[in-house]
Every structure is written in C-alpha cells, then in structure tokens.
Structure 1
Amino acid sequence: MYPSATNPKFGKALAVLTSLFFMWGLITSLNDILIPHLKALFSLSYLQAALIQFCFFTAYFVVSFPAGALIRKIGYKRGIIVGLVTAGVGCALFYPAAGAQSYAFFLGALFILASGIAFLQVAANPYVLALGKPETASSRLNLTQAFNSLGATLGPLLGATVILGIAGSQANSASNAAAQASAVQTPYLVLTGILLALAAAIWLIRLPVIEEAVKPVSKAASKSSAKKGGVWAYRHLILGAIGIFAYVGAEVGIGSFLVSLMGQPQIAGLTPEAAGRYLSIYWGAAMVGRFIGSALMTKIKPARLLAFNALMNVVLIALAMACSGHIAMWALIAVGFFNSIMFPTIFSLALEGLGEHTSEGSGILSMAIVGGALVPVLQAFLADHMNILASFAIPLVCYLYIVHFGVRGHRVDADAAAAAAKAGSPVGAAAATR
C-alpha cells in the first residue's frame, strides 16, 4: 500500500529520511580519512589498514538479512531507531578505543557502527520507495541520494580538518601517539550525540505506517515463480548482485587509497590534510553526476548510461596508471563523477521483473555490498607487494564487469518478464543507495 503523495505526513517523513541518508554518507566517507590516520598512528601496512573497510562493510553481509527479519516484525520506524542507536553506540566506542590506543578496539567499534548503518539501509531504502506512488519512486530516491552524496562530500572535508589537521599539528608533541589517537574522540562523540538526537526525534514524530510494497497477487504468479526455482533463478539478479559487489568494492577501494596515493612524491606530494580536502572532490563529483544522470535518464536508457559511465572509468583508471603525476590524481578524482548513477541503476535493473521476490532480491543485493570489504583488501595486497598506483588495476577490472552488465547482463529473460506481468509488479520501481 502506497500512501498518497499529497498526504501531509509525506513531506515530514521524507525530510526525516533525507537526514538519515546525509548522516550515513558522511560517516561512511570518514573511513577514507581514518585509513591514513590509523595507518600512520599504528604503523600499519596497506593490507592492515584495509581492515577498516573490511570490518565496516562485512557488517552489511552479516547484518542485512537479520535486520530485514527484525524490521518485518517491528516496522520501519522502530527499525530506523534501532539502527541509529546501534550506530551511536559504535561512534561512542571510539572514545575508549582512542584512550586504549588499540587498533583491534577501533575495528570492533567500526563493526558496531556499520551494523547500525546496515539497519538504516535495510529500513530506509524501501521506506523511501513506499512513500508515494511507484512511478515517482525514482525522483524520491534521486533526492535522498543527492543528500547522501552531500554527506559523503563533507565527510572528508571535516575529517581532514578535525582529525588529520589536529593529528598533524600534534605530531611532534611529547605524547605523540596519545595526541594523535585523541584526534578522533571529539568528532565521533559529536556524531554519537547527533545520531541519538535523531533517534529521539524519530521516536516522537508520527510517521506513516507502510505495508510491504510488493506482494504476490495471484496463485498463477506464485506457481510461475516456484517453477523457476525462486529468487535465485533470476539470472539478471545474480549478475546484478555481482555488479553491486564490484561497484561498491571499486568505489570504496579508490576512496580508501586516494589520500595515500596523493601523498606519494611521484603523484602530488600532498600532506594528508590537503589530500583529504581533494578527496571531497571525488565524492562531490558523484553528487553533481547524480543530478546530471537523473536528467539524462529521461532520454537515455539507464543500462546504456551505466555501460558508458563504467567504460569512462576504465579509461580514466588506465590513464592514471599510464601517466602517474597530477594526471593520475585528477583522473582518479574524476572517477567519482561517473560513479554517480551506478549503484541505484544496477540495483533497479537487477530487481526488474522479480514480482513477489522483490524484497528477497533486495536483501541479496544489500548483502553484495560486502564488496566494499573484500575488494579494498585485495587492492591493499597489490599495493604492499607492487605499488599503490598499480593496485588500481583491481577497480579497473570491477568497472569492466559493470560494462558487461550494462550491455548484456541486465537483460531480463522472457520467463521472468512473464512472471512479473502475471504478478502485476512495478518494473524497475525499486532501487537503493549507499
């Protein structure tokens, strides 16, 4: 059941959800600042530093399905509150982790923080889709995605100033390690307060009660899907899940190592604080590209635009690896612009024609976000054993796969299309954002 878009509660609910997308965009991009900070603090290898993203995105794989089951029982609103409180606890644990100067403690706090954000993803994405008519779902998602990108843009700017800047100014102090560790305490305590305040506000605000957006409507549709072997029989969904894995892995991998790359003398020789500010351009370009891509999709098929953007990223990464220097830096920053439409486009193409299996398919795609945990680790292995610029060959391969998905892999087979028609499901109405 979709509430009317004219319902006065609709605008309030969408505003609340938009604030959530902003917050988790900011928190997720702060990881790109934590990596060089903790790498220097604990004298880590690139592989050891990549455990930051590994712990963060592994939480999506571990938590997504249990979160979905719990949210079905307690509802979207309470699910969002659980996610906010859990994320707040994770942020609060940064204070004792810094006090103990324990990398393992930091990783545990990150896992708890990411578990809360995974809850928010599972609850908030379908809530946005359901707040209005199915045909306007895309515009609502583009709005929330833009604010997610805004948060991701501000995260590195704030992190460069309040974490890398403070740590750098205290680098020569008598208690160097303690001073640098404490640089994360105040920012994450502030985030704790904001997250808990949002949880309290949502508890007090009356939000629309949303039923499941996609339900089986006929025995014929159920039999048709049963013959196909359930959700796992949809080939384009499985290929889409691989696409989500590849995209999130590539995006996170590039963001994770850009600050370190820009600090290399043969690239730009920037300080961590300066490089962190340039990193915000990478995420800001995604926000700009999202608005442009949304407009282009009214005239260009989403799959074609997806393939084009992925191909452009292949060219940009190859250019960076071939040229080095400032050309490499700006080519990799430009990748952010072409990343813009990839996640929601892969997500929506993968869910086409799933009918009653749409919610299950969404869960599978959410689990595939674990690519953000595994791909950066592989990239870090190459960085340690070859060099950091050569390690960008891993994201290049990921984008090559996305080219394939945009050209051929997204196509829905005839049986799936027939099943969707019988179920009367909206095609391509569902999508999500990181």
Structure 2
Amino acid sequence: MPQSSQTSPNFRFAFALITSLFFLWAFLHNINPILIPHLKKACELSDTQSALIDTAVYFGYFLIAIPAGWFMHKYDYKKGILCGLLLYAVGSALFIPAATARSYEFFLIALFIIAAGATFLETVANPYITKLGDKDTSEQRLNFAQSFNGVGAFIAPIIGGQFILSGIEHTPQELQQMSADQLNNYLSYEAGTVKVPYMIIAAVVLLVGILFIFTKLPEIKEDDADSEKKSFSMRVFRHRHVTWAVIAQFFYVGAQVCVGSFFIRFSRYTMDLPEKQAATWWGAIAMVGFMLGRFIGTFLMKYIQPAKLLALYSLISIVLLTIALFTTGSIAVYALMGVPFFMSIMFPTIFALGIKGLGEESKIASSFLVMAIVGGGILPLFMGMISDRTGSIQAAYIIPLMCFLVVFFFGWKGYKIN
C-alpha cells in the first residue's frame, strides 16, 4: 500500500474505525469477571456452573471462526464486519428478556450470539490491521491497535462493577431465612441490573455499524489471492509456526480468562475483599496495567524482537502466579493484579507471528487462531472443578500457571518459520 494513501484522512478514519472494534470484543471478554459472580448470585450457581459463562463465549468463537473466515474469504472484510456487529447487537439486546425471565440458559444463549458477532470482528480485524502497512512492522501495528483493546479491558470491569454489581451480599444462612417472595424479589433485582447496560451496548454497536456502512475501507489485495485451493484449506498447518501459534493461543486465552474470571472470588478468599471493591481494583489497577502494557510493549518491540519479549513476559507471569499461589492477603492479590501487564502483548504477538509470511492463507490461519480462543471456555471449567472439590479458588490458579509454560515455548522456539 503506498505511503501517501496511508497518511490520507480517509485512511486514518478507516484505521480508527477498525481499531474501535478491538474495544468491543475486549468489553465482551472483560465483563465476564463481573457477570460470573453476578449471575452466580442471581441464578444461584456453583463455581463450575458459573464458569459456563466463559464456555458459552469461547465456544461461540470455536464454532463460528471457520464460517467467519470463509465469509471473509468469499466476500470481503467490510461485509464480515457488518455481520459481526449485527450479531453483537442482537445478543446484547437479548440480555433484557433473559434478565426478565431470570433464565441462566437464556443468558448463555445471548452470550453465545454476542460471541459469534465478536468472532466475525476478530477474524476480520486482526489480519486486516497486519496488512495495512509494512510487513516487517505487522507485530507492532497489531499491538498498537490491540492497545485500544486494553482500553475496553480497563473500562468493562469498572462499568460492570458500578452498574451491574449491586454490592448486596447475603450469606447462605441469610438467604435461607428469607421467605419465598423475599428471595424471588432479591434474585430478580440482581438479575435485572444488567438490562440498562446491555441496552446501551446494543445501541452503541448499531451506531458503529451505521458508521461502517458509510465508510470506504482501504482494499487489501493479496499476491496469491487467486489461489483458491491453496488459500483456504487445512494445508495451512504444513507451516510449523502456524500449528504452534494455534496451540499457544489456546493456552494463552485460557490463562487470560482464568486469571480474570475468578479474580473477585480469589480476592474474597485470600483477603476478604468485597466484590465491588475487587471489581474496581481489577479495572482501575490490573486492567490499566493491561492497557499500558500494550502501549509499552509496542514501544519495546522497536528494540526487542517480539518473540523474545513474549518469552520474557511469559516467565514473569509464571513467577507472579507462583507468588499468588503460595502467599495470602494483599501480597497474593497484588501479584495476581500484576499478571495482566505482562499478558498484554501475548494475544496480538502470537497472532501476528502465527500468520507471518502466509499471504492469502493468512485468512484461514486467522480463523484457526480465533478458534483457538476456545481455550478460554475450557480451562476455566477445570479451575471451577478444582475450586469446588478443594474449597480453594487459590489452588485452582495452578491452571493458568501451566498455560504460560506453553506460551513461553512458542516465544522461545515455536514461532520460527521453517
């Protein structure tokens, strides 16, 4: 793409609009640490049952990623974005009847539809950003765009903590002493707090969709775009770095979700921190660190190879989780809040390294990398099981620690193109 076209006002506006999509799927993922304890309370769930929130979201990614990649391959990037935004808005609107019915199954269906929309957005936006400029700086460009994903990660738990969590926490004994009507009114009130936030989310997503309809996006033409059979098939796994990228992405996303989804429960267990305060800490400290980590990581990549930085950050995350596992009180909580800073560069760096040098095949590779996000729906279930069986949510954090070992290997050796 010519340099002059990259500096035009139309290009900059289109780039900014594409970047806004990173905020939307970040909001989906980072509102889950609020929804998990909230719906656990409102729908009277166990830890394992509440972890199905992550499962619904990430299985949406797993099942829709290939259709989304095929749709993008057959049509174009813009139509894929519009389809994703429509699904996202519909799923958000369905939260209103789900809350009225206080149906956990209905909530899971709504989350699955939102996730289907987010899958289209991620499958399109991640590779599109890497193509908008010099191939040698694709990792930096994707990390920069993903920095605004960090903004969504920072804002979501704060908004959720303020407008979804009520701060009303009853002990099991207090709930047993309530009459049937009192209990039903309390649970209905808790479920209903999601209505206004998700109504606003649906409206904002539709507005973004309208902006896309009237915006001309820069066209991307791959050198091997006419090679139909080669470009969209399982043969992409003949590239060793693609295989390892998909494996690393599975375990990274699993680790990210595990670290965040049970943070409120972890904080209550290790230092008796109230849920609203824990949500604020996660948003105002941990997710700010995540956001800053993206910007700082993008800067550091000018001087440190992305793969080496990925390996280093993985090791630091392992050390912090070890501290969180074997200490108590504020030290354990602060160690866990430090992990997001070092997680920040992992998803975009794995993604960019995984599709490097693929040309038109980057579309199918992108689909598999997005499918790998299903790790976020599987590994938290194991955390929930460990917590339910041992009575310790802290012990369950061995799961993300092990995941970062896989990410380290990818940054050490797995990324290399053969």
Residue 112 of structure 2 aligns to a residue whose secondary structure is helix
Contact 1:2 1:213 in 2 (8 A): no
Change in 2 beyond 3 A, CA 1:163/1:217 = closer
Partner of 2:281: 278
Change in 2 beyond 3 A, CA 1:310/1:361 = same
Partner of 1:364: 368
Q: Are residue 210 (structure 1) and residue 216 (structure 2) matched? A: no
Residue 141 of structure 1 aligns to a residue whose secondary structure is helix
Give me the identity figure in percent: 40
Change in 2 beyond 3 A, CA 1:168/1:194 = farther
- Following superposition, the deviation at residue 186 of structure 1 comes to 0.7
CA RMSD of aligned residues (A): 2.4
Q: Are residue 94 (structure 1) and residue 95 (structure 2) matched? A: yes
Change in 2 beyond 3 A, CA 1:2/1:393 = farther
Change in 2 beyond 3 A, CA 1:167/1:183 = farther
- Following superposition, the deviation at residue 140 of structure 1 comes to 3.4
Partner of 2:256: 251
Contact 2:14 2:218 in 1 (8 A): no
- Following superposition, the deviation at residue 406 of structure 1 comes to 1.5
Name structure 2 gaps, 5 residues minimum. Answer: none
- Following superposition, the deviation at residue 17 of structure 1 comes to 1.4
- Following superposition, the deviation at residue 254 of structure 1 comes to 0.9
Contact 1:230 1:357 in 2 (8 A): no
Partner of 2:210: 200
| Number of matched pairs | 403
1:193 is aligned with what amino acid? A
Q: Are residue 297 (structure 1) and residue 301 (structure 2) matched? A: yes
Residue 303 of structure 2 aligns to a residue whose secondary structure is coil
Partner of 2:196: 186
Question: Equivalent residues in 2 for 1:32-47 (5 A)?
Answer: 32-47=33-48
Partner of 2:312: 308
Contact 1:321 1:392 in 2 (8 A): yes
Contact 1:302 1:345 in 2 (8 A): yes
- Following superposition, the deviation at residue 293 of structure 1 comes to 1.4
Q: Are residue 14 (structure 1) and residue 15 (structure 2) matched? A: yes
Change in 2 beyond 3 A, CA 1:346/1:139 = closer
1:249 is aligned with what amino acid? G
Contact 1:318 1:396 in 2 (8 A): yes
Change in 2 beyond 3 A, CA 1:406/1:242 = same
- Following superposition, the deviation at residue 361 of structure 1 comes to 1.8
Q: Are residue 403 (structure 1) and residue 412 (structure 2) matched? A: no
- Following superposition, the deviation at residue 411 of structure 1 comes to 2.1
> What's the CA shift string for 1:262-289, capped at 9, x where partnerless?
112xx12111111111111222211111
Q: Distance in 2 between matches of 1:145 and 1:382?
A: 32
> What's the CA shift string for 1:124-145, capped at 9, x where partnerless?
2233233344345444323321
Q: Distance in 1 between matches of 2:335 and 2:398?
A: 14
1:277 is aligned with what amino acid? T
Q: Distance in 1 between matches of 2:280 and 2:106?
A: 27
Partner of 1:416: none
Q: Distance in 2 between matches of 1:182 and 1:406?
A: 44
Q: Distance in 2 between matches of 1:126 and 1:83?
A: 15
Residue 388 of structure 1 aligns to a residue whose secondary structure is coil
Name structure 1 gaps, 5 residues minimum. Answer: 414-434
Q: Distance in 1 between matches of 2:102 and 2:301?
A: 48
Change in 2 beyond 3 A, CA 1:217/1:133 = farther
Change in 2 beyond 3 A, CA 1:307/1:131 = closer
Contact 2:127 2:366 in 1 (8 A): no
Q: Distance in 2 between matches of 1:260 and 1:403?
A: 27
Contact 1:52 1:110 in 2 (8 A): yes
Question: Equivalent residues in 2 for 1:4-403 (5 A)?
Answer: 4-165=5-166, 174=182, 175-203=185-213, 205-213=214-222, 215=224, 230-264=235-269, 267-280=270-283, 281-386=285-390, 387-403=392-408
Contact 1:216 1:356 in 2 (8 A): yes
Q: Distance in 2 between matches of 1:78 and 1:52?
A: 28
- Following superposition, the deviation at residue 2 of structure 1 comes to 6.8
Q: Distance in 1 between matches of 2:193 and 2:57?
A: 20
Change in 2 beyond 3 A, CA 1:145/1:17 = same
- Following superposition, the deviation at residue 405 of structure 1 comes to 1.6
Q: Which is further off, 190-199 or 141-150? A: 141-150
1:27 is aligned with what amino acid? L
Contact 2:264 2:275 in 1 (8 A): yes
Q: Distance in 2 between matches of 1:248 and 1:299?
A: 26
Q: Are residue 412 (structure 1) and residue 413 (structure 2) matched? A: no
- Following superposition, the deviation at residue 165 of structure 1 comes to 3.1
| TM-score, scaled relative to structure 2 | 0.90
- Following superposition, the deviation at residue 325 of structure 1 comes to 1.6
Q: Distance in 2 between matches of 1:214 and 1:283?
A: 39
- Following superposition, the deviation at residue 214 of structure 1 comes to 5.1
> What's the CA shift string for 1:132-184, capped at 9, x where partnerless?
44345444323321111011101000000001136669x99941011111000
> What's the CA shift string for 1:67-121, capped at 9, x where partnerless?
1222233322222111111100000000000000110000000000110111111
Contact 1:244 1:365 in 2 (8 A): yes
Q: Which is further off, 31-40 or 14-23? A: 14-23
Change in 2 beyond 3 A, CA 1:332/1:202 = same
